[in-house]
Copies of this chain bind each other. A is one copy, B any other.
Amino acid sequence: LPAVVRTIRANRRELARLLTRIENNQAAAELAALYPCTGHAHVIGITGAPGAGKSSLVNALARYYRRAGQTVGIIAVDPTSPFSGGAVMGDRIRMNDLSGDSGVFIRSMATRGYLGGLAHTTGDAVRALDAAGFDWIIVETVGAGQSEVDIARTAHTTVVMETPGLGDDIQAIKAGILEIADILVVNKADRPGAESTAQTLRVMLDLGHQAERAPHHRYTDDIPAVNERAQAWQTPIVQAVATDGRGIPELAAQITAHREYLNQSGTLTLRERGRIEAELLDRLRGALLAQLLDGAAASMLPVLVERVLRRDLDPASAAQAFLARVRQTE
């Protein structure tokens, strides 16, 4: 085993330090070394609107796995503070039930507003936890929008949470978020309207399956095919009360079923390939730009910015002018 893997398996504080270096983008060597030791863990993404009870569900699911003798790594992603990068204290507090158990490791991470940041930092953190030997890795993310797309890229099984009787806006959100759900949980199912929410979701899911899928363009800026579910998997809807554990065994059973489906249908490999493609392109984009800004043409950039600011040149033409200059100076 590589030294870094031995270290993080033996010592949780070393694992925590590695995650900090990953967050600070200073762990390239360790990530390269541990990468061959990944691929053991199953990664569960849990997402949903604010107030859906994500932390409670993560907590309940982790306790369930622990009782079965399995280990759990948890990453709570907070995309809600793009500028300050502050993690949510509440997450840590609610996770107290699990503290003191060495079979559970919990980490809050901020995305720091980096476009597509979840995919990179969280993806690397997941790899570290994977190499550290956890059986299950749960990635919890709050919010509606980009973060869900990212979680669908990072997780093997994406669990989308809903609650009974939410308003119009939430209904609108559902249509989008349903498409990334491998499993739907109607949490707080002891509240009125749980059954009708589940039925509505079922109808929306069935409609979605009939609708035409967006085409998948390889090697472009488009979303990779993270949702190319084979026909065989029908998204199950699990009713749960995360705070008292109702529905958790059913959820765990569905996660296991989905894992088996991914393996047997070959979808796992398809998804991983899509994810790797997207990550490579993302890294190349960043590296190419860094190269460019290191070069002789970089001094032209502020000049172009001022011209665009004066409306002397439009942004697209400015980008083209810059690239033309780069070609000349190369």
Contacts and interface: CB of A to CB of B under 8 A. Distances in A.
Contacts of A322: 280, 284
A49 B284 CA distance: 34
> In the complex, which of the residues A90, A176, A223, A313 has the most CB atoms of chain B within 10 Å of its own CB atom?
A176
Given A32-B317, A175-B84, A176-B84, A323 B51 contact: no
Contacts of A172: 50, 78, 80, 88, 90, 142
From A170, A269, A291, A319, name the one whose CB has the most chain B CB atoms within 10 angstroms. Answer: A319
Given A90-B168, A148-B82, A222-B114, A280 B304 contact: yes
Interface string A110-146: 0011111000000000000000000000000011111
B167 A82 contact: no
A315 interface: yes
Contact of A83 (B167, B223, B312, B317): B223
A309 B114 contact: no
A145 to B, nearest CB: 4
Contacts of A84: 175-176, 179, 208, 211, 214
Nearest first, the 5 A-B pairs at minimum CB distance are A81-B176, A50-B169, A146-B146, A35-B314, A143-B145
Q: Max chain B CB contacts within 10 Å: which of A86, A113, A301, A304?
A: A113
A68 interface: no
A308 interface: yes
Contact of A80 (B88, B145, B168, B223): B145
Interface stretch (A191-199, A242-250, A270-278): A270-278
Nearest to A308: B276
Q: Is the interface of A mostly helix, strand, loop or mixed?
A: helix
A147 interface: yes
A252 interface: no
Interface of A: 28, 31-32, 35-36, 38-39, 49-52, 54, 78-86, 88, 90, 112-116, 142-149, 166-173, 175-177, 179-180, 208, 211, 213-214, 219, 221-223, 227, 269, 272-273, 276-277, 279-281, 283-289, 291-293, 298, 301, 304-306, 308-309, 311-320, 322-323
Q: How many copies of the chain does the oligomer comprise?
A: 2
Contact of A81 (B28, B112, B175, B284): B175
A224 to B, nearest CB: 10
A245 to B, nearest CB: 20
A304 B197 CA distance: 45
Contacts of A83: 176, 179-180, 213-214, 223, 227
Contacts of A86: 175-176
Given A78-B172, A79-B145, A83-B180, 17 more contacts: A32-B314, A49-B50, A52-B169, A83-B214, A84-B175, A84-B211, A84-B214, A86-B176, A112-B214, A113-B223, A142-B172, A219-B301, A269-B309, A280-B304, A287-B319, A288-B288, A291-B323
